[in-house]
Chain A
Amino acid sequence: MRSDKANTVVIGGGLVGMATAYGLVRDGVDVAVLDEGDLAYRASRGNFALIWVQGKGAGLPPYTMWTRQSATIWPEFARELEDVSGVELHLSQPGGFNISLDEGALGRRAAMLQRIDDACRGLPGFPAEGSFSVIDANELRKYFPEIGPEVVGATFNPLDRHVNSLLLFRALHIAFKKLGGRYLPNHKTATITPGNASFDIATEKGSVSASSLVLAAGIDNGRLGKMVGLNVPVRPQRGQILVTEKMKPFLRHPIQTLRQTNEGGLQIGDSVEEVGHDLGLRLGVLSVLARRAVGIFPHLKNVNVVRSWSALRVMTQDGYPIYDESRDHPGAFVCTCHSGVTLAAMHANVVAPMIKLRRLDDACGAFSTQRFHVPAAA
Chain B
Amino acid sequence: MFQRLPDISGTTVHFSIDGKPTTGIEGDSVAAALLVAGHNAFRTTAVSGAERGPYCLMGACHDCYVEIDGTANQQACRIRLRDGMSVLTQHGKRDLGR
> Residues of A with Cβ closer than 8 Å to B?
146, 245-250, 263-264, 297, 299-300, 302-304
Contacts and interface: CB of A to CB of B under 8 A. Distances in A.
Nearest to B65: A245
Interface of A is mostly: loop
Interface stretch (B13-21, B23-31, B49-57, B87-95): B87-95
Contacts of A299: 96-97
A346 to B, nearest CB: 32
Given A263-B46, A263-B47, A264-B46, A245 B73 contact: yes
Given A302-B71, A304-B73, A246 B96 contact: no
A248 B95 contact: yes
A263 B93 CA distance: 9
A110 to B, nearest CB: 28
Nearest to B45: A246
Size band of the B side of the interface? 10 to 19
Interface string B55-98: 00000000000000001010000000000000000001111110
B93 A248 contact: yes
Contacts of A300: 96
Given A302-B71, A304-B73, A247 B94 contact: yes
Contacts, number: 33
Contacts of A303: 94, 96
Contacts of B94: 245-248, 303
A147 to B, nearest CB: 12
Nearest to B74: A304
Contacts of A246: 46-47, 93-94
B48 to A, nearest CB: 10
Contact of A250 (B46, B71, B92, B96): B96
A304 B65 CA distance: 12
Of listed A248, A264, A299, residue having the most chain B CB within 10 A: A248
A245 B47 CA distance: 12
Nearest to B94: A247
Pick the 10 closest A-B CB pairs, nearest first: A246-B46, A248-B93, A299-B97, A264-B93, A247-B94, A250-B96, A299-B96, A246-B93, A248-B95, A247-B93
A297 B95 CA distance: 13
Nearest to B46: A246
A297 B97 CA distance: 10
Nearest to A297: B96
A303 B95 CA distance: 10
